Structure 1
Amino acid sequence: MASGLRVPQFAQWSDLLERAAKTAPSAFSGDRLRNLHEGGWQDSGEPSALVTPVDQTGLGYLSKVDERTALAAVGYAHEQHGQWAGVPLAERRARVAAAVEAMTAARDDLALLLAWEIGKPWRLACADVDRALDGVRWYLDNIERMLATDADGRPFQRCPLPGPVSNIASWNYPMSVLVHAELVQLLAGNAVVAKTPTQGGAFCLTVAHALMHDAGLPVTLLSGDGSTLSSALVRSAEIGALAFVGGRDNGGKVAAQLVDTGKRHMLEQEGLNCWGIWEFSDWDGLATHLRKGFEYAKQRCTAYPRFVVQRKLVDQFLAAYLPVVTSARFGHPLATAADDEELPQLDFGPLISAAKAAELRTKVDEALGHGAIPLYRGSLAKGRFLDGQDTSAYVAPTTLLAPAGASRLMHEEPFGPVDTIVVVDTQAELLAQMNASNGALVASIASDDEELAGRLAEHVQAFKVGVNKPRSRGDREEPFGGRGGSWKGAFVGGVHLVHAVTQGPQDELLYGNFPNYNRYPDV
């Protein structure tokens, strides 16, 4: 049956690419992205094709630089850093504010670029851009007091790091994680170097960095493979700090490269975030949280893909959960009815690539082979797609009961719309199953007895543990970090982010998850 859906003209890639090139003319060579280094946009690097997960069509080309080019770029960024560190705070604030306002004017196109590049539904793409810009506005209003104390709140005028901050981030939140962090680092007096994620977000980041560069900010943006650029972006003596967001495999490699450098670092890694459900009855309230949890196919570090449920509550939990998972709205993030110019309100679109979708399906099959029970296996036939559209990057919602210990889904974050449910009989089992991944970023306990939930939360190895509510990365004053293998280095968020990228007194011990000590702020 024909779907009757189409992509409105203003949202089609050809029109969007033309507008992006007009916004940042120096950053584009046709449909090929230039790199920003040594003071301007360069035609350096080898072309590498970019394909959208939305329908597998080509978007254009990255230009991947080699190690020599990256080392030269870092050297120039170090020179920029020395100059920028001497710029008065009032001038830094004015230039960052100008970049924020320029991005505000380009907000809709930045969001549309995210929809095509990483498959983010329109509402969530807009939220990614808005959250970045609103967050930086808050720092613009509060930066003076953040630069005036050490990590223990003692008066001290902080100064920039010895060199620029290197940023290596995953593809899923280009604006609200990567660009947001860079703008705060710049506000604090540091030049910044960023690597575009190879899996997606390069066009959005190119336009954003062009606007930052136009505002007079010392920014460098390079494309390339992590293995090729690691000596420049991770180990270079000219780098003052490293901010990394990604999986544990790559994070572990980065951490190993940092061991002998003594370099300031913030390594955010994945963890299996869990809801624990014990002596609980507010199922309508939980269902509201569950529905929101399917946003962006759970491709975020604070998604909740694991539910650990007291045995006597399993039937009631499923009565609340199954209507949510079966009604999740997914499909082409920009496809509308023929007579409609409003973009669709979906929970999620594709995974980041057809390869990741195939990998997740393999993990599901593996879990089933080890004895997991398929409670729900959605069908792509329920999705909203264009006629004849390639849907190889899409995965329908799936729920598995009791995955075996031998299956990867028992211990690893799926990073997709696949949930697992584990049934327990004791509080000790509840905690053991919630701590299955050696640390997490967030977790939650659902219980009518909030005092009990608070006691249980003390034993959950997650940085933030909610009681009858989910936790998230947070904004503004709220700190963010991880426990166990989910984080290494200084925590971020609010004053902690500013402290992580500035120098305080010699006896200062930053809050963080470090090899020799841990200091956790009140979260």
Structure 2
Amino acid sequence: MTYDLPVGTPTQLWLGGKLSDSSTGATFPVLDPASGELLTHVADATPEDGAHALELAVAAQAAWAATPARVRSEILRTAFDLVRTRADDFARTITLEMGKTLSEAYGEVNYGAEFLRWFAEESVRISGRTATAPSGSGRILVTKEPVGPVLAITPWNFPLAMATRKIGPALAAGCPIIVKPAAETPLTMLLLGQVFADAGLPDGVLSILPASQASALTGPLIADERLRKITFTGSTGIGKLLVRQSADRLLRTSMELGGNAPFLVFDDADIDAAVDGAMAAKMRNGGEACTAANRFHVARGVADEFADKLTARIAALRTGHGLDENTDLGPLITDKQRASVHDLVVDAVERGARVRVGGQVPSGPGSFYPATVLDLISEDSRLLREEIFGPVAAITVFDTEDGAIAAANATEYGLAAYFYTRDLDRAMRVAAALKVGMVGVNRGIISDPAAPFGGVKESGFGREGAFEGIEEYLDTKYIAL
């Protein structure tokens, strides 16, 4: 069956609030990962287009920063309303270009829209402070000012929410922003450009530049002295490269990078609740999430029960096109991503792991990979160290609380962690001991626009969402009176 995009889906660049062809007229294809079929072609931004977008942003900076906070807030609130009104178009587009099920796509639309509402409210709450100098020589006045033009680079796994999480605070703070969406999923962002145009965002404040060659577009922008901040969500390797590129000009940077989330199940846990949480933490978005549970560390006394129940739940998942109402699990984003996931499974099996369910690449079109459960996993298996980013649950056992914590922390990443226990003292001890930026206690989904999202160690720095999110786009100025 062939599935069509919503009528009128934009396929050109958004340059300063207007649709435009690439400066060379070039385009690149966008494919449906469930079938491999062509969805459409979109304009392929060039370095010249990037320079034009930055010129527009610089020209708009002063006026946008001076725009009353209430006006910026109302534009964001209108954009929130428009995204929700057009939820059907957004959800269908997300499913077609990214692959997730339609129900999960609707969930992303709601989640992504909430960042626009949250930062509409935060826009009018930017504040400073004043105090008398301890020496009595005068007063200390502290103000907040927008950092200036921003470059945002967003990933393919949440093509709407990862963009609104950056656009919302940038606009709320008074910063113009240029967005380079992932080449696999540019259409959702182009729809969002239409939303902001309809919401009355002034020309030049937002540009959206899909590009098949990301570095050719972003490199010159990062080197341009007029750009003042870069925000990125994606792999740790690319994040390190961007930080190095930004260092010569000491750009403000926010990096939300890879994860290797542990999921701990203690022997006093409610096992049925833990399985529910495991399904949410592992199978949400088909495992293609930086917060996805990567490693399941289970107390030896309850390991068999947990593994049996999780395997039964995962074995019941139905794979298919995300627009099919009977589908529980869509495809991975590309054949390359599927091969990466399968390589990790093969490596674990070769080192002695047992495949409880799944583990085989299916025949036929589409980048599908079955939901998979492995146990009896060797400590030197790659999937215990590397981010899986697919529907594979890897189960190991532990004997002591200290051993569980040590296993959970045995990674260079530090984004999220989950654990289940009914002991309040243990909950506080373990939460404090886990070296991550976010902890889920007896819950498998932790993302919330009102909570600070981000990690430590090689999972990056900076926070998105919450009160902290807007601070990433503000400079602090001290005035001595």
Q: TM-score, normalised by structure 2?
A: 0.89
What is the identity, as a one-letter code, of the residue corresponding to 2:472? A
Alignment partner of 1:58 out of 38, 45, 55: 38
Native 8 Å contact 2:72 2:120 kept in 1: no
Tell me the equivalent position of 1:517: none
Tell me the equivalent position of 1:519: none
Tell me the equivalent position of 1:279: 267
Does residue 186 of structure 2 align to residue 230 of structure 1? no
Q: Compute the displacement of 1:143 (Å).
A: 2.7
Instruction: Give aligned pairs, total.
Output: 462
Native 8 Å contact 2:165 2:465 kept in 1: no
Q: Whole-Å Cα distance in 1 between the matches of residues 317 and 341 of structure 2? A: 18
Please state whether the residue corresponding to 1:456 is helix, strand or coil.
Answer: helix
Does residue 468 of structure 2 align to residue 484 of structure 1? no
Q: Whole-Å Cα distance in 1 between the matches of residues 250 and 232 of structure 2? A: 16
Deviations 1:2-61 (A, max 9, x none): xxxx67xxxx31xx34x234xxxxx4xxxxx21122553221142212211011100111
Over 3 Å counting, the alpha-carbon distance change for 1:465 and 1:216 in structure 2 is closer
Please state whether the residue corresponding to 2:395 is helix, strand or coil.
Answer: strand
What is the identity, as a one-letter code, of the residue corresponding to 2:169? V
Over 3 Å counting, the alpha-carbon distance change for 1:308 and 1:66 in structure 2 is same
Native 8 Å contact 1:305 1:420 kept in 2: yes
Q: Compute the displacement of 1:471 (Å).
A: 4.8
Tell me the equivalent position of 1:148: 127
Tell me the equivalent position of 1:322: 311
Tell me the equivalent position of 1:362: 343
Please state whether the residue corresponding to 2:410 is helix, strand or coil.
Answer: coil
Does residue 471 of structure 2 align to residue 499 of structure 1? yes
Q: Whole-Å Cα distance in 1 between the matches of residues 29 and 36 of structure 2? A: 11
Deviations 1:422-445 (A, max 9, x none): 222333331222123213211122
Q: Compute the displacement of 1:160 (Å).
A: 1.4
Please state whether the residue corresponding to 1:302 is helix, strand or coil.
Answer: coil
Q: Compute the displacement of 1:183 (Å).
A: 2.7
Q: Whole-Å Cα distance in 2 between the matches of residues 283 and 183 of structure 1? A: 39
Q: Whole-Å Cα distance in 1 between the matches of residues 8 and 112 of structure 2? A: 19
Over 3 Å counting, the alpha-carbon distance change for 1:155 and 1:456 in structure 2 is farther
Q: Whole-Å Cα distance in 2 between the matches of residues 263 and 88 of structure 1? A: 26
Tell me the equivalent position of 1:174: 159
Does residue 168 of structure 2 align to residue 196 of structure 1? no
Native 8 Å contact 1:165 1:192 kept in 2: yes
What is the identity, as a one-letter code, of the residue corresponding to 1:452? R
Q: Compute the displacement of 1:269 (Å).
A: 0.5
Please state whether the residue corresponding to 1:56 is helix, strand or coil.
Answer: coil
Q: Whole-Å Cα distance in 1 between the matches of residues 435 and 79 of structure 2? A: 39
Please state whether the residue corresponding to 1:305 is helix, strand or coil.
Answer: strand
What is the identity, as a one-letter code, of the residue corresponding to 1:188? A
Over 3 Å counting, the alpha-carbon distance change for 1:73 and 1:141 in structure 2 is closer
Over 3 Å counting, the alpha-carbon distance change for 1:424 and 1:233 in structure 2 is farther
Native 8 Å contact 2:256 2:455 kept in 1: yes
Q: Compute the displacement of 1:195 (Å).
A: 0.3
Q: Whole-Å Cα distance in 2 between the matches of residues 78 and 280 of structure 1? A: 58
Native 8 Å contact 1:129 1:176 kept in 2: yes
Deviations 1:142-199 (A, max 9, x none): 4322x0147xxx99542211x2111101111122221242033112211110002112
Q: Whole-Å Cα distance in 2 between the matches of residues 433 and 20 of structure 1? A: 50
Does residue 125 of structure 2 align to residue 125 of structure 1? no
Alignment partner of 1:248 out of 227, 232, 236: 236
Tell me the equivalent position of 1:42: 20
Q: Compute the displacement of 1:315 (Å).
A: 1.6
Over 3 Å counting, the alpha-carbon distance change for 1:506 and 1:328 in structure 2 is farther
Q: Whole-Å Cα distance in 1 between the matches of residues 152 and 74 of structure 2? A: 23
Q: Whole-Å Cα distance in 2 between the matches of residues 241 and 486 of structure 1? A: 19
Unpaired segments ≥5 residues, structure 2? 130-139
Tell me the equivalent position of 1:113: 93
Over 3 Å counting, the alpha-carbon distance change for 1:180 and 1:428 in structure 2 is closer
Q: Whole-Å Cα distance in 2 between the matches of residues 373 and 76 of structure 1? A: 57
Q: Compute the displacement of 1:378 (Å).
A: 6.0
Please state whether the residue corresponding to 1:504 is helix, strand or coil.
Answer: strand
Please state whether the residue corresponding to 2:231 is helix, strand or coil.
Answer: strand
Native 8 Å contact 2:14 2:208 kept in 1: yes
Q: Tell me the percent identity.
A: 24
Please state whether the residue corresponding to 1:469 is helix, strand or coil.
Answer: coil
Over 3 Å counting, the alpha-carbon distance change for 1:427 and 1:233 in structure 2 is farther
Tell me the equivalent position of 2:446: 472
Tell me the equivalent position of 1:339: none
Q: Whole-Å Cα distance in 1 between the matches of residues 384 and 127 of structure 2? A: 46
Deviations 1:298-331 (A, max 9, x none): 1112111210122222122223322222122331
What is the identity, as a one-letter code, of the residue corresponding to 1:148? S
Q: Whole-Å Cα distance in 2 between the matches of residues 347 and 234 of structure 1? A: 41
Q: Compute the displacement of 1:405 (Å).
A: 4.4
Tell me the equivalent position of 1:98: 78
Q: Whole-Å Cα distance in 1 between the matches of residues 414 and 320 of structure 2? A: 29
Native 8 Å contact 2:348 2:383 kept in 1: yes
What is the identity, as a one-letter code, of the residue corresponding to 1:303? A
Q: Whole-Å Cα distance in 2 between the matches of residues 371 and 77 of structure 1? A: 55
Unpaired segments ≥5 residues, structure 1? 1-5, 22-26, 28-32, 336-343, 382-388, 508-523
Please state whether the residue corresponding to 1:351 is helix, strand or coil.
Answer: coil
Over 3 Å counting, the alpha-carbon distance change for 1:208 and 1:178 in structure 2 is same
Over 3 Å counting, the alpha-carbon distance change for 1:74 and 1:404 in structure 2 is farther
Does residue 405 of structure 2 align to residue 421 of structure 1? no
Tell me the equivalent position of 2:134: none
Tell me the equivalent position of 1:312: 301
Native 8 Å contact 1:326 1:378 kept in 2: no
Map 1:371-386 onto structure 2 (within 5 A): 371-377=352-358
Please state whether the residue corresponding to 1:170 is helix, strand or coil.
Answer: coil
Native 8 Å contact 2:357 2:372 kept in 1: yes
Tell me the equivalent position of 2:208: 221
Q: Compute the displacement of 1:506 (Å).
A: 4.7
